[in-house]
């Protein structure tokens, strides 16, 4: 597995405030890495260091093998950064905006027209090629900004709160665009404090709070480590107390809870076994005379993970 981002004891202080506290993380190539944390947790500070816009107080970080301290020019060639604000570009058309940044990255003038056309098509803004940039909607500005991060074909895209302020349709469009970029082989690091934005697109996550990384890795592994047992919900048309007795004490059953007030009546079973053990529980219920209409495991999501890991306290600080 190739690691495209790595930090070791990365620390950043602002006076007496520690924004990052010995951050150690790795992002594999091709991942969509969701960087999750409340406002002020240290997400933006981390991203600014990885894009060489900010120097660490101590520690080190590498992007695509290049040091963010010792080889800043190479890092900038490897990264496309989309900050959480668009900026002001008065009297500039969409194609001029992209042309300006292409020139800044020393893209040859002969290549720029075709490159700009391709990028506008990628983000579905061909029809806004000659539109004034500041007259675009918030969603269109975000897509144009994303096109700009691609102008020099970087290996890594770092997107800071890209869905902030977007309406539901624009968020869906952005999510689909990010999936397409991943299919093109791009590694994407995306920050957010709104977990539903990341749930459907991330392969890996990092959870940060008060400058400290609390968990990091692929989603499935983190879910398994935080919830070593599974919870199965059983809907019944027969007596719930009788059904509970059929499975209570069975191998791999940790707990059984009755929910007779639910419609239809239910039981919840905590299981620490594999799929075979789960199948044997269903068999035990049916052979014991329980009338089962639904038998399924509860699925944890990013909100569950976040609530399990973080303290949930409100605080101020630097992003």
Which residue among 200, 225, 250 closes a domain? 225
pLDDT of residue 315: 42
Q: Looking at the structure, do residues 166 and 22 belong to the same domain, yes or no?
A: yes
Q: Is residue 305 part of a domain?
A: no
Q: Looking at the structure, do residues 8 and 74 belong to the same domain, yes or no?
A: yes
Q: Looking at the structure, do residues 34 and 169 belong to the same domain, yes or no?
A: yes
Q: Looking at the structure, do residues 218 and 281 belong to the same domain, yes or no?
A: no
Q: Looking at the structure, do residues 95 and 56 belong to the same domain, yes or no?
A: yes
Using DSSP's 3-state secondary structure scheme, residue 199 falls into coil
b/e per residue, 283-307, with b = 16+ CB within 10 A?
Answer: ebbeeeebeeeebeeeebebeebbe
Which residue among 225, 255, 278 closes a domain? 225
pLDDT of residue 174: 80
Q: Looking at the structure, do residues 120 and 52 belong to the same domain, yes or no?
A: yes
Q: Is residue 253 part of a domain?
A: yes
Q: Is residue 319 part of a domain?
A: no
Q: Looking at the structure, do residues 42 and 81 belong to the same domain, yes or no?
A: yes
Residue-by-residue pLDDT tens, the chain, 319 positions? 799 999 999 999 999 999 999 999 999 999 999 998 888 889 999 999 999 999 999 999 999 999 999 999 999 999 999 988 888 888 899 999 999 999 999 999 999 999 999 999 999 999 999 999 999 998 899 899 999 999 999 999 999 888 777 777 877 888 888 888 888 889 999 987 666 666 667 889 898 988 999 888 887 777 766 666 788 999 999 999 999 999 999 999 999 999 988 889 999 999 988 889 999 999 999 999 999 999 998 765 666 666 766 665 444 444 6
H and E: helices and strands count for the chain: 10, 14
Structural domains counted in the chain: 2
- Give the CATH number, domain containing residue 125: 3.40.50.300
Q: Looking at the structure, do residues 125 and 204 belong to the same domain, yes or no?
A: yes
Q: Is residue 165 part of a domain?
A: yes
pLDDT of residue 314: 45
What residues have CB less than 8 Å from 7, skipping those under 6 apart? 23, 24, 25, 46, 50, 59, 60, 61, 62
pLDDT of residue 29: 93
Kindly give the residue spans of alpha helices, DSSP state H, lying in 227-264.
240-247
Q: Looking at the structure, do residues 149 and 262 belong to the same domain, yes or no?
A: no
Q: Which domain holds residue 75?
A: 3-225
Q: Looking at the structure, do residues 137 and 265 belong to the same domain, yes or no?
A: no
Q: Looking at the structure, do residues 141 and 32 belong to the same domain, yes or no?
A: yes
Q: Is residue 310 part of a domain?
A: no
Q: Looking at the structure, do residues 173 and 282 belong to the same domain, yes or no?
A: no
């Amino acid at each position: 597995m190739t690691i495209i981002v790595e930090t070791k004891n990365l620390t950043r202080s602002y006076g007496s405030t520690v924004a990052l506290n010995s951050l150690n993380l790795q992002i594999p190539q091709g991942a969509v890495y969701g960087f999750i944390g409340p406002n002020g947790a240290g997400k933006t500070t981390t991203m600014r260091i990885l894009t060489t816009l900010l120097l660490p107080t101590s520690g080190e970080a590498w992007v695509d093998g290049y040091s963010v301290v010792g080889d800043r020019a190479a890092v900038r060639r490897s990264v496309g950064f989309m900050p959480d604000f668009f900026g002001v570009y008065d009297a500039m058309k969409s194609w001029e905006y992209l042309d300006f940044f292409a020139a800044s990255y020393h893209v040859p003038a002969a290549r720029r027209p075709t490159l700009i056309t391709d990028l506008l098509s990628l983000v579905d803004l061909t029809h806004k090629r000659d539109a004034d940039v500041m007259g675009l909607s918030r969603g269109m500005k975000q897509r144009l900004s994303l096109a700009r991060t691609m102008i020099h074909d970087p290996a890594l895209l770092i997107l800071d709160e890209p869905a902030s302020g977007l309406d539901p349709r624009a968020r869906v469009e952005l999510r689909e665009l990010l999936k397409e970029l991943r299919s093109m082989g791009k590694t994407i690091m995306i920050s957010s404090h709104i977990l539903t934005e990341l749930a459907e697109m991330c392969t890996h996550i990092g959870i940060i709070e008060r400058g400290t990384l609390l968990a990091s890795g692929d989603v499935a592994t983190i879910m398994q480590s935080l919830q070593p047992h599974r919870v199965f919900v059983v809907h019944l048309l027969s007596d719930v107390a009788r059904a509970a007795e059929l499975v209570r004490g069975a191998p791999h059953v940790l707990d059984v809870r009755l929910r007779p007030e639910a419609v239809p009546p239910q039981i919840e079973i905590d299981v620490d076994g594999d799929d075979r053990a789960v199948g044997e529980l269903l068999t035990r219920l049916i052979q014991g005379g329980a009338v089962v209409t639904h038998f399924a495991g509860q699925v944890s999501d990013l909100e569950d993970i976040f609530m399990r890991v973080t303290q949930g306290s409100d605080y101020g600080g630097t992003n």
